[in-house]
Each structure stands twice: as C-alpha cells, then as structure tokens.
Amino acid sequence: MLQSLLSKLAGAGPDKRSWELIKQGARVIDVRTPEEFGSGHLPQAINVPLSQISTWLIDQDPKQSFVLYCAAGIRAQKACDQLKCSGFPNVINAGSLKDLLSYQAT
C-alpha cells in the first residue's frame, strides 16, 4: 500500500498505455539495484540501476519507447526525468513492479 501511495505521489503508476507500449516493443527498464532485480522482475526487463542511467542512455536510440519501473515509482520517475531531459520523449514511469504486475492481471 505504501509503495502504491508513493507511486501516486511521484506521478507514477501503471496504466493501460504502459502495457500497450510493452506489447508494441517498448524497452522495459528496471531501475532497481541488481539485488532487487535478482529477487524478481518482468521477463522482458533489463536491469539498469538508476545510478547508471546517464551512462547507459548514451548508446540508446531516442526514438525508442521506454517503460521504466522500480520498487515504488520514485527511482523510475528520476530515471524518466533524466531520459526526457536528454531528448528521449517516449518514456513512461510505470511505477512499481508490484503495481505493474497487478495491473497486467486485470
């Protein structure tokens, strides 16, 4: 519940558009730590911890769509802000992994 509230406060949260983009081939980025990623993640996700986003995005295509998530949505929002400020317009903060998974099940 706290994670869901934090996601909403950060302006985040899974929505229909997140899953539509994933189905259309958006890159799914888990910005949690490798330890958190190892405890469970979406099968199509790659792990790029928030601390490595600025270096990672150098080799990415700004035209690509990205769906980012973390444990509560706050780190994902920070990563989204970094990508958007670097010229990546197609970026969505999907909030937390838990919320994203529960939304997929509905």
pLDDT digits (tens, 9 = 90+) for 7-35: 444 444 567 788 989 999 999 999 999 99
Identify the structural domains of the chain with CATH numbers, from first to last: 16-104 (3.40.250.10)
Dihedral angle, C-alpha 10, 40, 42, 33, nearest 10 °: 50
Residue pLDDT, tens place only, 44-57: 999 999 999 999 99
| Residue labelled with tokens 């911890």 | 49
Q: What pLDDT shows up at residue 1?
A: 42
Q: Which helix (H) or strand (E) holds 4?
A: helix 2-9
Q: Which of 13-17, 73-77, 87-91 has the lowest mean pLDDT?
A: 13-17
Q: What pLDDT shows up at residue 77?
A: 96
Most confident of 1-10, 17-26, 77-86: 77-86
